[in-house]
Chains A and B, each alone.
Chain A
Amino acid sequence: MSGTELTENELIEERIDLSRNTCPNREQRANGINVWYGKASDLAKEARSGCLRQRERNFQQSSGCVLNFYLSVRIGTIRDAVAIYHAPVGCSSAALGYRELYRHIPVELGRPANFDLHWMTTNLRERDVVYGAGEKLREAIKEAERRYNPKAIFVLTSCTSGIIGEDIEGTVSQVQPEIKATIVPIHCEGSRSRLVQTGYDAFWHAVLKYLVKKPEKKQKDLVNVASMLSYTWQDRLEIKRLLGKVGLRVNFVPEFASVEQFEQLSEAAVTAPLCPTYTDYLARGLKQEYGIPYFLYPSPMGVAHTDEWLREIGRHTGKEREIEALIKEEHEKWLPKLKAIRQEFENFKGNGEKVEVLGALGQGRLLAQVPYFDELGLKSSAAMCQDFDNLILKDLEKLIAQMGDFDILVNTFQAAEQTHITNQRDPDIAMTCPFQGGAFKRDKGVTRVHALRSDAHPWSAQSGYTGAIAFGNFLLQSLKSHSYQRTMKEKTQSTYKDWWYKQPNSLYYLKAEE
């Protein structure tokens, strides 16, 4: 461990270069990694000094790639557009729910009654791999225009299109003159990066490069919010409600946004985060190209952070006074409810001990949720985090200073490691993404870390004040229900052999340094 500290410029590649076809990988841009276990303070120190390195695992599980963790399910939710996967047929199969994702939301809650979503695959086959598939992509783009007359056509790349050396930009520039829609190539070859977050950056790069227009006018009351599908429809409504009360409008991108909403990103007053690591590239790009101010911390999760989030927006929109009044009004309503939840958690064990929670989250959610747990009167002495990079380093340091040290396991959906740490830590509540193999089989509480789709039920809210209360109650509920996971633990075979749980190291399969 060297004593040197890197400057901010060395930690993060600040400049966004839109003359390039795509973004740098998170590995290059912010020294991103997805394997680590230990104290958060050590992680921060290693990152700060530039010693933090990605390591190989000898055992690894499928965890999502640049295309197929996020983009394949989400790009297809953009309205008046078509997504074309330049890939074999399997790369887009995760998108098959496209006609259903948002249909569960009643029109009364603000879903447009008439909308239609579209995606196609160029269905690459052996012949295409041998002879190239530029012609096929051209034809697919033309067919997309013929069928739907969209405003934008996204072209998503794949391992196969990348390895066979498809000239995507060449094809696009050749066919664009014949096409009314803006063609937006996204370089999301699964094999380009170990970090699924590279996919976010690759997407925003394409949005900034091709879709965002020069501002025609400034919209002083417009706030850009990049929202992910792990934030629910209720969260949108809550954010709209709060900002609406002070006369601000929200531009929610990318999910379920119209192409026009992307074009207007350059006219907003500020870009605000739901998840800092997700919003980062877009926020920086809008600042660099169009001077739109942004902030990345905090997210509107929990009462204190929601207060701060609103104040930040107030500062950038000249609404400080109105925001303070809003916060006061909201507190009167929600703080008693928060107190009641806190009390219930505090009395739960009956011996003065706090309820212990272990979360499995993205790095953005880590920054938001750990303080929120504290607000609820919960203890989180460890957290699992999908990945880590220098983009959140300063905020992580702040978090440690504020909350004290805790342990972090950095892994992207490594179910064996997650099951191991869950067993070892034995928290009262284990929060998990729903797809964690066997981590749910245990004697104590288990719940989801977030709702996963356009869930419109108020009970699934997690942002703002209503979300702080709803999610608190939700966690209380999870403490009271163990029958499924306990029964499953008892009645089904574990995926992993017994020795795995008996040895102490969650990162047992970390490859030795060569």
Chain B
Amino acid sequence: MGISEPLETNNVISGAIEAPRYSCALAGAYSTAVGIFGVVPILHSGAGCGIGQLFGQFYGGGQNAGGPYGGTSTPCSSLVEEHVIFGGEKKLESLIESTVELVNGELFAVISGCVPSLIGDDVGAVIRRYKEKNPEIPIIHVNTSGFAGTSYEGYEYFFDSVIDQLLEEKVPKEKGLVNVFGIVPFQHIFWKGEARTIKTLLEKIGLKANLIVGEFDALENLKKIPAAEYNIVLSSWVGHETAKKLEGKFDTPYISFPGVPIGPKQTSEFLRVIGERLDVSADVIEYLISSEERRAYRFAEYVGDVLLIARPHPYFAVVADSNSAVSITKYLANEMGYLPDIVQITDNPPEEARELINEELTTGLETPAWPEIIYEVDAYRIRENLKDRNFMFLLASSLETFISGPEFNAIHLTVSFPSYDRIILERSYAGFSGGLTLMEDVMSKYAGPL
């Protein structure tokens, strides 16, 4: 078993990096806002921050257009030199007023970038003044910047602002209501399908799932957050800050999983744990598991020949964010008999999460072949780490699409950010039949007449 020492002992990667697979905190807050249908992001930033993330986050997150509120649709104060000198507060004031007047939306989220942070714009004061004049307009301020962290932190900053500025007082708990966190729009390229699948699963066991991302009725769903009995976090680290804050403010306990469950084994375990915590009748859970499993495994029979004749028990490599890496590796190793060679984690999780991730990727595997686990964000070193190995499959991002064959002689599939070579709309690998979809995608890369 080889677990490499992480490059960094703290959670700040300090040096220069080649092509990291995430954007900045502004981008994460912005992507999250765009991923909740009805939120209107208002960027208080330079004019390029929106369009930059259209290329860097939305196109990167499965070639998705910006839609009604993203990309060039996004209101933006477009700060230049004169604002750097005289401040951008006035510009923001008129931008908020005109946006509310012009744009159809439920919640307005002002997201501030590097320029206002550096010049000391008092954005909070601008918003407070606006709220005093227009108490009926829901508006929040995500006080972030490009240098405040990565996309993943930006996701937390967005919810942090929602909790502080939108969710005022305690509300009575609603029986069976759960919020789900940890799926970051666009960074987790299958976010829409994952959210929908998880929602359906939880509804099938009688719970009311509030996924927030990938759903309409943004304001209603966000306001429901305090009423939840439980928060479910589908990540070993992303969304934990949010869940802890909600625990502190609204006494909502939370439970976390290392990622979105893929295939019957992970999904059954997920449901059983949830059932136990939330007091769902075991009969309901077991009935669902048995009927879904029965179907999923009956269908898995169909890949038997292509799996065993064409490419049986191959070594594989994974390059992905921690959520995707854990779930995909476990599915391939535990349900398909693939052998994990190396797993590179690209989202720079904090130290405390790494222990759990390492455990999932070793003792969590039903195979004696444990992968080498490397935490790496630098595209050059990721590429170097893939050299001279046994893997035949490379489940990674589209950064590897064109180098996989020539350099590693491996069959490649894009499963993680960035995904410029796959359009991802509602597809996902989540849930009982998600594993089947993953098999289809992997095997279609080499399928031919047997």
Is residue A6 contacting chain B, with contact meaning CB distance below 8 A? no
Cα distance A139–B17 in the bound complex, in angstroms: 11
Q: B16 to A62, Cβ gap below 8 A?
A: no
Q: B19 to A119, Cβ gap below 8 A?
A: yes
Is residue B418 contacting chain A, with contact meaning CB distance below 8 A? yes
Q: A437 to B80, Cβ gap below 8 A?
A: no
A-B contact pairs, 7 of them (CB 8 A): A59-B102, A60-B76, A72-B55, A93-B56, A95-B56, A124-B147, A191-B46
| A residues 50-91 in Cβ contact with B at 8 Å | 56, 58-69, 72-73, 84, 87-91
Interface-lining segment among B295-303, B306-314, B358-366, B395-403: B395-403
Q: B420 to A143, Cβ gap below 8 A?
A: no
Q: Which 6 pairs, one residue from A and one from B, show the smallest C-beta to C-beta distance? A: A62-B50, A93-B56, A90-B24, A65-B48, A68-B48, A437-B73
Residue-wise interface mask of A (354-365) relative to B, using a CB-CB cutoff of 8 A (1 in contact, 0 not):
000000000000
| B residues 195-248 in Cβ contact with A at 8 Å | none
Say which residue of A125, A412, A500 sits within 8 Å of B102 (CB atoms).
A500
State the Cβ distance, A153 to closest chain B Cβ, in Å.
Answer: 12
Cα distance A437–B67 in the bound complex, in angstroms: 6
Is residue B264 contacting chain A, with contact meaning CB distance below 8 A? no
A128, closest chain B residue (CB): B147
Cα distance A398–B95 in the bound complex, in angstroms: 38
Q: B97 to A58, Cβ gap below 8 A?
A: yes
| A residues 82-131 in Cβ contact with B at 8 Å | 84, 87-100, 103, 118-129
State the Cβ distance, A511 to closest chain B Cβ, in Å.
Answer: 7
If A62-B76, A65-B48 touch, whether A493 touches B104 (CB-CB below 8 Å) is yes
B21, closest chain A residue (CB): A96
B71, closest chain A residue (CB): A435
Cα distance A11–B395 in the bound complex, in angstroms: 56
Say which residue of A64, A125, A192 sits within 8 Å of B51 (CB atoms).
A64
**Which residues on the B side are within 8 Å of A415 (C-beta)?**
72-73
Q: A436 to B16, Cβ gap below 8 A?
A: no
Interface-lining segment among B58-66, B133-141, B349-357, B423-431: B58-66
State the Cβ distance, B8 to closest chain A Cβ, in Å.
Answer: 12
Count contacts between A and B, CB distance < 8 Å: 264
Is residue A497 contacting chain B, with contact meaning CB distance below 8 A? yes
Cα distance A493–B40 in the bound complex, in angstroms: 14
Q: B401 to A88, Cβ gap below 8 A?
A: no
State the Cβ distance, A131 to closest chain B Cβ, in Å.
Answer: 12
Say which residue of B66, B99, B401 sits within 8 Å of A437 (CB atoms).
B66
A440, closest chain B residue (CB): B65
Is residue B435 contacting chain A, with contact meaning CB distance below 8 A? no
Q: B148 to A435, Cβ gap below 8 A?
A: no
A76, closest chain B residue (CB): B19
A192, closest chain B residue (CB): B81
Say which residue of B43, B69, B114 sits within 8 Å of A88 (CB atoms).
B114
| B residues 380-399 in Cβ contact with A at 8 Å | 380, 398-399
State the Cβ distance, A146 to closest chain B Cβ, in Å.
Answer: 10
Q: B146 to A87, Cβ gap below 8 A?
A: yes
Residue-wise interface mask of A (26-70) relative to B, using a CB-CB cutoff of 8 A (1 in contact, 0 not):
000000000000000000000000000000101111111111110
Cα distance A494–B22 in the bound complex, in angstroms: 30
Q: A96 to B418, Cβ gap below 8 A?
A: yes
Cα distance A99–B18 in the bound complex, in angstroms: 12
Is residue A406 contacting chain B, with contact meaning CB distance below 8 A? no
Cα distance A102–B72 in the bound complex, in angstroms: 25
Q: B55 to A73, Cβ gap below 8 A?
A: yes
**Which residues on the B side are within 8 Å of A66 (C-beta)?**
48
Cα distance A424–B206 in the bound complex, in angstroms: 50
Residue-wise interface mask of B (303-346) relative to A, using a CB-CB cutoff of 8 A (1 in contact, 0 not):
00000000000000000000000000000000000000000000
Q: B15 to A62, Cβ gap below 8 A?
A: no
**Which residues on the A side are within 8 Å of B114 (C-beta)?**
88, 158-160, 163
Is residue B32 contacting chain A, with contact meaning CB distance below 8 A? no
**Which residues on the A side are within 8 Å of B380 (C-beta)?**
118, 147
Q: B84 to A191, Cβ gap below 8 A?
A: yes
Cα distance A84–B17 in the bound complex, in angstroms: 9
Q: From A97, A136, A140, name the one whose CB has the most chain B CB atoms within 10 angstroms.
A: A97
B79, closest chain A residue (CB): A191
Q: From B26, B54, B72, B118, name the one whose CB has the most chain A CB atoms within 10 angstroms.
A: B72
State the Cβ distance, B378 to closest chain A Cβ, in Å.
Answer: 8
**Which residues on the B side are within 8 Å of A493 (C-beta)?**
68, 104
Say which residue of B20, B27, B69, B91 sits within 8 Å of A123 (CB atoms).
B20
**Which residues on the A side are within 8 Å of B252 (C-beta)?**
none
Q: A435 to B51, Cβ gap below 8 A?
A: yes
**Which residues on the A side are within 8 Å of B292 (C-beta)?**
none
| A residues 338-357 in Cβ contact with B at 8 Å | none
Q: B49 to A97, Cβ gap below 8 A?
A: no
State the Cβ distance, A249 to closest chain B Cβ, in Å.
Answer: 29
State the Cβ distance, B91 to closest chain A Cβ, in Å.
Answer: 8
Cα distance A163–B76 in the bound complex, in angstroms: 19
If A91-B146, A194-B80, A415-B73 touch, whether A159 touches B46 (CB-CB below 8 Å) is yes
If A415-B73, A495-B104 touch, whether A90 touches B52 (CB-CB below 8 Å) is yes
Is residue A193 contacting chain B, with contact meaning CB distance below 8 A? yes
Is residue B286 contacting chain A, with contact meaning CB distance below 8 A? no
Say which residue of A99, A103, A139, A164 sits within 8 Å of B15 (CB atoms).
A139
Is residue A492 contacting chain B, with contact meaning CB distance below 8 A? yes
Q: A90 to B146, Cβ gap below 8 A?
A: yes
Is residue A496 contacting chain B, with contact meaning CB distance below 8 A? yes
If A60-B78, A159-B114, A511-B94 touch, whether A125 touches B14 (CB-CB below 8 Å) is yes
Cα distance A59–B103 in the bound complex, in angstroms: 10
Cα distance A460–B128 in the bound complex, in angstroms: 51
Say which residue of A125, A192, A509 sits within 8 Å of B12 (CB atoms).
A125
Q: B78 to A97, Cβ gap below 8 A?
A: no
Q: B51 to A413, Cβ gap below 8 A?
A: yes
Cα distance A511–B51 in the bound complex, in angstroms: 23
Cα distance A380–B303 in the bound complex, in angstroms: 57
